[in-house]
Every structure is written in structure tokens, then in C-alpha cells.
Structure 1
Amino acid sequence: MMRPVTHSHSHSHDHGPATPASRRLRTVIAAVLIPFALLVFGGMLALWPGDAPSHERTGVGFDTQRQRARVTELEEVKCAEVNAQSRTADGHADPDEMCERATIEVISGPNKGRTFKDIVTPGALRRYDVGQELVVSYQPKAPPEVQYAVVDVVRSVPLMVLAVLFAVAVVLVGRLRGLAALVALAVSFAILILFILPAIIEGSNPLLVAVVGGSAIMLIALYLSHGFNARTSVAAIGTLASLLLIGLLGSLFIGWTKLTGSTDDFTGLIHQQYPGIEMSGLLLAGVLIGSLGVLDDVTVTQASAVWELRQAEPGASWRKLYGSAMRIGRDHIASVVNTLVLAYAGASLPLLLLFTTARVGVTGVLTSELVTQEVVRTLVGSIGLVASVPLTTMLAAMVLAADTGGSPAAPAQGRGRRRKR
């Protein structure tokens, strides 16, 4: 299945503390965001999942378990002796071709200590090393000789090392702001794992769950990362408006292009195990959640740009603030859209190679459901991102221009400069 790479078009948003907003401006923003936040977290409570439905309740009698195992021995054997499907270029079996026979010991579960064999042919992509830890599937009801099968390798250590390196880099460069961003990232994953995925599995509407969960992620991530101030609140409103646009466009074009959301073995298995899940709604939910990261980037950058311009020229009108900030925004749009397209193309590279070798025409490739799904996902997300720039910029410019009750020093400085000119 083509899965989008997480949208990580990162910029530093540490523009220093925002200029204090007036009491009136804070009141207006609070009047918009507080009811919205209460609605979001109330929705989370209403949709909070109980116990996820088991396979037995959904009518699919899968009882496969995942356990861990370790390679204890490797030996070379002739492929012909183990009835391997080994062929030479002319299509005949090669009696001298050598395979590897791995002895694998189960190290978890009720049959800990049990061993089984696995044959690795010369053309296999996965190779074993002695001591390597593996993930194996266990089917208790299967015959003993086929109860275990290797399904993956254990990658915990390298992933943990990479995560630690990432966290250290973020904290070293971002300091307290970087630490806050890491906390926001952890909260985002917690909402995804504890709320969004279980609620969808339980049968709640995927789009509704994504809107509620995504909005909660947006609010928590923005305020933890960028502080409780008017600038962050304007970015939050801009992000919300852009998410609504993405949701409307996504719903329209997913329906118009007749996308089912079930395009490969993984989505087919989900539909088989949990037939109550609306797969097209799940696709739209993925579009919304996948757009959140870059929306945060764009809206905070634009709000910060307007605030910085206002600090540099306190007497500027909202039109001047908007025009100056949009010059920054246009550069941002170009780089973000390019990032999104390349990210999706990179994630879909194996599929594009398959279409190329099959010599399917460009029209055939683009109109196939697999590719159309990614085209719709990319373009709908990109339209939302592009729209977020003028939306957030105009909102920030109009809010600041209307905030006549802000810091008293700023207007005084502005009048002093006009007298000098």
C-alpha cells in the first residue's frame, strides 16, 4: 500500500516572544477557541473507545499470535535436498545450488525453547545471522510442523538509537522550545494510538474521529510548542479553517472519483476483519491527519511573520502587513508543495516502477485507483496548505490592525516616526 511519508517540512518558528495582545483581542480569540476546544475534548469523551471488537465478534476466526525468536544455527545444504524451488536460467533444477537452513528458537510465548527450521534460498531478499532476533507467527490450531513461520525481524534497538539521536538533536538546537515540541509529539502519538485507531476499529465514523482527534492534536501541539499567546491562537484558527477546507474537498473528490479506500492486501484484510469500518471514510481521515503537520508549519510561520512585521512597523495598515507577509508566504507555498509532491512520489516509487515495467500509459497509471488515491490525497492536501497561507496571513493582519488597545509604547513609537518624516 502506498503510504505517505510523514510531512516534515520543518522550519524554526522561534521568533521570540510575541508582542502582548490587548485584553479585548485576547477576549475575542478566547470566545472563538474556548468553545471549540470544549467541543473537541467533549467529542473525544463521547467517542472514546471501549474494548476493541475481537475477531470472533467480527466473524473472522483468526487466532494467529506474534512471538519472538532467535537464530541459533546456520548451515549450508543443497537446495535439491530440501525440495527448494530453485531454477537455473534454462528452467531446470540446479542440483548443486546451495541454500541456507536456519535453526530458530522461540524465546517467548507458551512454547519458549521450541525450535523449528527455515530455508533461505539464494534469491531470497532476507538473510539471517546467528543471534539475530526475529518476529514469528504462531497458529495454535495448525499442525505442529507448520505452527511457526518467520514474518519479520526485530528492529527495536536501531529504532531506539535513532529516536534518541533525534531527541538529542531537537533539544540541543531548540532547547526548551525543542523539548516542548517533543512533548507535543508524544501527546500526538498518544492520541493516535489510544483514541483515533481504537475508535475507528470500534466502529465510529472514521471522518468524525479524525476531525475530533486531529483537532485535539492541533491544539495541544500548537500551544505546547509555541506558547499560549494570541499569535498561536491565530495560527490555530487558520489551521482549523484549512482543515475544514481539506475535509470538504476530500469528501467531494473521493466520492466523485469513486475511491473505495481498499486498494491492497492490507486494506482488504482490515475490511475483512472489521467490515463495519467505512474504508472511504478511513481514506479521508488519513488525508486530514496527514495534512496536520505541514499545516502547523505554514500557519505558525505566517502568523509569526505578520507579528514580526507589526513589531518592525507598528503603524502599518492591515493591507501593508498582509502584502509584506504574503511575499514570505509565496516562497513558503512553493517549497511546501514541492515537498509534498516529492514525499508522495518517494513513498509510491515501487508502484511507479511496477507501472513503468508493465508499460502502462500515463493515463492508465493516473486513472488507476491506486494512483488516483494518492493524487487526490496529494492535491487536496496541497490545496488546503496553499489556502492556509492567505487565510492565516489575512486573519493575523486584520487582528493586529484592529488591536488598537495593545502595548501603549508601540503606537507612540509609530507616531514619533511619522513626525520625523
Structure 2
Amino acid sequence: MTRLLLGLLALTAIATLVGVVVLWPDGERPTTPYSADGVTYPDGEVLRVGEACPVVTQDSTDFPEICDDVDVRLDDAGTVDGVRVRPGVVDVLQVGDRVTLVAVPQQGADEPSYGWVGVDRKPPLGWLALVFLLVVAVIARVRGLLAILGLGFAGTVIGWFMLPALLAGSSGLAVALVGSTAIMFVVLYLAHGPSVRTSTALAGTLIGLAITAGVGLVAIHTARLSGLGDESSLLLRNQADQLDFRGLLTCAVIVAGLGVLNDVTITQSSSVWELRQAAPHLSRRAIFTSGMRIGRDHIASTIYTIVFAYAGTAVATMLLISLYDRPLIDVLSDEAIAEEVARTLASAIGLVLAVPVTTAIAAATVAPAVRPDGSLSDERAGSV
């Protein structure tokens, strides 16, 4: 069974490399200019924060002429007064904060027109990332740092292969499967080391990905989802009309389940190996049964993780739903909500089915049981 497993993984690795070569985008990557010629983005420091504009209602009568504005001292030259900002920004800004403006040249004028871009958040985010690295290094040590390297590889695959391939018009399903498989091969072996245990988790992950892809395809087509349920997709459609947005949605469904799926499969594989070490006399069937008890507990907690992760990113949307007091069944028909529901449920189905698959593969490849006299049992690999 172990040889069969490793042989199938080797064939999958070869197929993945072939897929990368075939799907690799030829020529220059399609791009769209972010701004017009001559437009610059100077940095500066906030000198003054104005008062916030009141919320406009039907009864509003007293509305200040100037509000929601800041004064900024630019790094390269001069000071810009009265830069208008978005509502709510002045509530969080402080004097001394670093910000970025946009300078648009004006025909017939010596000075450009300045507009608001945003706060320079690179320093606090950089410190947060540094703390994350230190915590991982101290607690998880070498394995944690290897996981960070794997995360860097995943970002490289997404940024240098998957996104350009999608922009070039390649199939979202093919790009997602090839890219995700490549990521899982490197991430799992890098973080957990090359072993049969890791190979078992990898096999379960790949099968889970295939299930997620299939369920996602069915859900997208039966629910008549277009992939244009949010503002970003609509903007992207105007900039890159060669894209297949239903394929992009399929790609999103597959990629969204990668992290949690990897977590579940490596846990199931490790559980089976630890059970064998703790109870060398147990049969493969008993190992599978015990591993599934662990898996059921993991499934229950992971389902909460998936749902709450979405709920945390959609608090504003849920507040609007609550404010408008619409029936839940009507809300689910909105494409923006339906896309998230389909993405969440497809990932969850692939995740749940990956648990018995991974547990069965692990139980079939783990060492055979040991008899009381110390000899190995004659149970066959795969008899779970």
C-alpha cells in the first residue's frame, strides 16, 4: 500500500509540473496603468486634523462648509491645507501620522491638485509581522520557520503563476488545481518532513481538493452564479474582459479551502501514527475507528472555524441585513451572499470527506499490529 501511495503521488507530481508548463502564461503579463501620466503619490505628515462632518439626514440644516479635512506637510516640498478625506477618517487620525496623497497636475497651473489616498500603515503592519515571526520561532522553532518558508512559496506560486495565468485567460479550475497541488507538495514536505505520514496527509489533501472542486462546480452552475457578486469583480470585468469569472469563482472556492484542509489531513495522519505507537497491538480496523473518533471532534471544531471566519469578515454585511429586516431566505438569493455560502459549503464538504479518506489511507499504510509474542500480524495493508 505504501509503494502504491508513493507511486501515485509521484505521478501526481509529474502531472503537476506538466500542468505548470502548459498553463504558464506566455508573453508579457496583462497590465492596466494605475494612474495617468504625471500623477505622483507624495508622502507627508499630518499637521492638523479637522472636525468630522455630521451625518446627513433629511432634517439636516446646519452643515459646516469645511469638515473631514487635514493639513499635511509633504516630505519633498511645502504644506497642503484642507485635504478632504473620506468620512470616518478624521476619527482615527492623529497629528504626526504618516499619510500618502495623490498629486494630479493641473493644466495652466504651477501647483498640482492634491487628493487623499490613505494612511501609511507599513510600519505598524511590519512590526506586527515581526512579532508573528518571533512568536512562531520561539514556540514552533524550526518547524514553524519552515512553515513560514512554505507560506512564502505559496505566495510566490499565487503571485507568479496563478494570477498571471488567470489574467491570460486560462481555465480557473485548471489553474487552481495545478497551483494548489504544487503548493501542497512543497508546504507539507517542507513543514513536516518527507515521510509516509506526510505523504498520507498529502494524498488526503489532494483528494479533498478534488472533492471541493467538484462540489464547487456543481454549486456554481446550479445556483447560476456569475462570479460578479462584488465590486472588485465588476471593476475587474471592465479592466480585463478576457477573464472567465465563473472560473475565477471556482478557483476561489478551491484556494479558500487549502489551509483548513491541510490542517485536518495532517492532524488525522499524525493521529493514526500516534495511535499505532501508543497501541502497537491494535488492528488496522481498530486504528481507523479510533482515528475517526478524533476526526469527528476535529470536524466539529473546524466547521465553526470556517463559518466564524466568514462571519468575522462580513460583520458590516450582516448588520445591513439586520437593519433592513429582510427574510433570511431572500438574503441568500443575493449573489454576493450566495457566492460566500457556496464557497463555504463546498470547502466544508471537501473538508469533511477528506477526514475518513485520510484516516483510511493512514490506517492502511501504518505499521502492522504486533502480536503479544512480539511478532507482526499478517493483516494486509488496506484492510480497514
TM-score when scaled to structure 1? 0.80
* Higher mean C-alpha displacement, 116-125 vs 245-254: 116-125
1:88-103 alignment, distance < 5 Å: 90-94=59-63, 99=67, 101-103=69-71
- Is 2:100 the partner of 1:135? yes
SS in 2 for 1:129: coil
Which one of the candidate residues 99, 104, 121 is aligned to 2:72?
104
Number of aligned residues: 374
> Structure 2: how far apart are the matches of 1:143 and 1:316?
86
- Is 2:374 the partner of 1:415? yes
> Structure 2: how far apart are the matches of 1:175 and 1:37?
29
Q: Return the offset for 1:67.
A: 2.3
> Structure 2: how far apart are the matches of 1:138 and 1:206?
38
Matched AA of 1:31: G
- Is 2:4 the partner of 1:28? yes
> Structure 1: how far apart are the matches of 2:112 and 2:54?
18
- Is 2:172 the partner of 1:206? yes
Shift in alpha-carbon separation, 1:413–1:380, aligned structure 2, 3 A? same
SS in 2 for 1:259: coil
Unaligned runs of 5+ in 1: 1-23, 405-409
Contact 1:86 1:121 in 2 (8 A): no
Matched AA of 1:134: V
Shift in alpha-carbon separation, 1:141–1:301, aligned structure 2, 3 A? farther
SS in 2 for 1:67: coil
* Higher mean C-alpha displacement, 272-281 vs 187-196: 187-196
Name the residue aligned to 2:201. Answer: 235
1:174-185 alignment, distance < 5 Å: 174-185=140-151
Which one of the candidate residues 3, 10, 14 is aligned to 1:38?
14
Q: Return the offset for 1:359.
A: 1.6
Matched AA of 2:217: S
* Higher mean C-alpha displacement, 208-217 vs 142-151: 142-151
Which one of the candidate residues 69, 73, 77 is aligned to 1:113?
77
Matched AA of 1:67: Y
Contact 1:74 1:100 in 2 (8 A): no
Name the residue aligned to 2:246. Answer: 280
Name the residue aligned to 1:321. Answer: 287
Matched AA of 1:102: V
1:111-162 Cα deviation digits (max 9, x unpaired): x536544445896344543332223345558896775421221111111111
> Structure 1: how far apart are the matches of 2:357 and 2:121?
43
Name the residue aligned to 1:217. Answer: 183
- Is 2:42 the partner of 1:54? no
> Structure 2: how far apart are the matches of 1:155 and 1:88?
33
Contact 1:88 1:94 in 2 (8 A): no
Name the residue aligned to 1:359. Answer: 325
Contact 1:306 1:322 in 2 (8 A): yes
Which one of the candidate residues 263, 272, 294 is aligned to 2:260?
294
Shift in alpha-carbon separation, 1:64–1:91, aligned structure 2, 3 A? farther
> Structure 2: how far apart are the matches of 1:153 and 1:53?
29
Name the residue aligned to 1:258. Answer: 224
> Structure 1: how far apart are the matches of 2:121 and 2:166?
27
> Structure 2: how far apart are the matches of 1:415 and 1:202?
61
Matched AA of 1:415: G
Shift in alpha-carbon separation, 1:124–1:142, aligned structure 2, 3 A? farther
Shift in alpha-carbon separation, 1:159–1:239, aligned structure 2, 3 A? same
The structure showing larger relative contact order (alpha-carbon pairs under 8 Å, at least 6 residues apart) is 1
Shift in alpha-carbon separation, 1:55–1:64, aligned structure 2, 3 A? farther
Contact 2:69 2:90 in 1 (8 A): no
> Structure 1: how far apart are the matches of 2:157 and 2:224?
30
Q: CA RMSD in A?
A: 3.1
Matched AA of 1:240: L
Name the residue aligned to 1:197. Answer: 163
> Structure 1: how far apart are the matches of 2:159 and 2:39?
20
Shift in alpha-carbon separation, 1:136–1:265, aligned structure 2, 3 A? farther
Unaligned runs of 5+ in 2: 378-384
Shift in alpha-carbon separation, 1:227–1:141, aligned structure 2, 3 A? farther
> Structure 1: how far apart are the matches of 2:30 and 2:127?
35
Name the residue aligned to 2:381. Answer: none
* Higher mean C-alpha displacement, 185-194 vs 299-308: 185-194
* Higher mean C-alpha displacement, 118-127 vs 295-304: 118-127
* Higher mean C-alpha displacement, 194-203 vs 300-309: 194-203
Matched AA of 2:246: S
Matched AA of 1:70: G
Shift in alpha-carbon separation, 1:416–1:264, aligned structure 2, 3 A? closer
Name the residue aligned to 1:69. Answer: 43
Name the residue aligned to 2:274. Answer: 308
> Structure 2: how far apart are the matches of 1:307 and 1:391?
15
TM-score when scaled to structure 2? 0.87
Q: Return the offset for 1:271.
A: 0.9
